[in-house]
Amino acid sequence: MYQGSEYAQQQAKASLENARAIERMKESKRQVDELNTSIARLDMIVCAMWEIMQEKGVDVEELHAKIDDIIMRRKQNIYSTVHAECPKCGKPIQESTKTPMLGRCVYCGELVTFYPYSSDIKGNSGASVSESEPEPVEEPVKEETEPKPYNVSDDLGF
C-alpha cells in the first residue's frame, strides 16, 4: 500500500510540474506576441518616417551612407548600455531592461527618463540633465573628525 502512495505522490508532482511548464509556455507565447506587435508597429513608424524623409528630399544614397556610419560606430561600441548619474543624488543609474528608456536610482528612488541617441536624461522633478556637460560641484570643506560608523540608511535614503 505504501508504494501506491509514493506512486500517487510522484504522479501528482509530475502533473503539477507539467501545469507549471504549460503556464510558462503560455506566458512566453504572450510575450512573443507582444514583441511581434511592437516590431510591426515600429516597422510602420520607420516606413512612414522614410516616406516623409523622401518627400523632404533625402535620397537612398544618403540613407545607405548613414546606415554604414551607424554600423561602423556600433562596431566601435559607441552605442552601449545607457549609464548616467542620477540628477537627484549623483549616484550611477542604469536604464532598466524591463522598461526601456526608464531607470530608477537604487539609492534615492528617483525615476529617470533616458532619451534615445542622446546622453540627456530627465528625472521626476522634470529637470532635464545632460550627461555630456556635468555641472561643476563644489567640494565641501572636510573637517578632520573621528570617522562616523557606517549606516546603511544613509546610502539608501531612509
Cβ(137)–Cβ(130) under 8 Å? no
> Does residue 152 carry a pLDDT above 70?
no
Map grid coordinates 560608523 to a residue.
149
Judge whether 155 lies within some domain.
no
The rounded distance, in Å, linking the Cα atoms of 87 and 105 is 9
- Check whether residue 9 and residue 50 sit in a common domain: yes
- Check whether residue 100 and residue 121 sit in a common domain: yes
Judge whether 66 lies within some domain.
yes
Provide the domain count of the chain.
Answer: 2
- Check whether residue 71 and residue 14 sit in a common domain: yes
| Strand pairing category for 111-114 and 102-104 | antiparallel
> Does residue 153 carry a pLDDT above 70?
no
Closest CA to 96 of 80, 123, 114: 114
Query: What stretch of H or E contains 102?
Result: strand 102-104
Amino acid, res. 143: E
The overall average pLDDT reported for the chain is: 78
> Does residue 2 carry a pLDDT above 90?
no
- Between 148 and 138, where is the model more confident? 148
Residue 100, domain extent: 83-130
Judge whether 69 lies within some domain.
yes
Judge whether 58 lies within some domain.
yes
- Check whether residue 56 and residue 25 sit in a common domain: yes
Q: How many CA atoms lie within 13 A of 146 on its CB side?
A: 1
**What pTM was estimated for this model as a whole?**
0.47
The rounded distance, in Å, linking the Cα atoms of 128 and 118 is 12
Judge whether 38 lies within some domain.
yes
The rounded distance, in Å, linking the Cα atoms of 13 and 32 is 29
- Check whether residue 87 and residue 108 sit in a common domain: yes
How far is the CA of 68 from the CAs of 54, 63, 103, in angstroms?
A: 19, 9, 30
Cβ(106)–Cβ(116) under 8 Å? no
Q: What is the pLDDT of residues 64-77, one digit of tens each?
A: 998 898 888 777 76
Q: Could you give the 3-state DSSP secondary structure of residue 86?
A: coil
Q: What is the pLDDT of residues 99-145, one digit of tens each?
A: 778 888 889 989 988 887 666 677 765 444 443 333 444 444 455 55
The rounded distance, in Å, linking the Cα atoms of 47 and 55 is 12
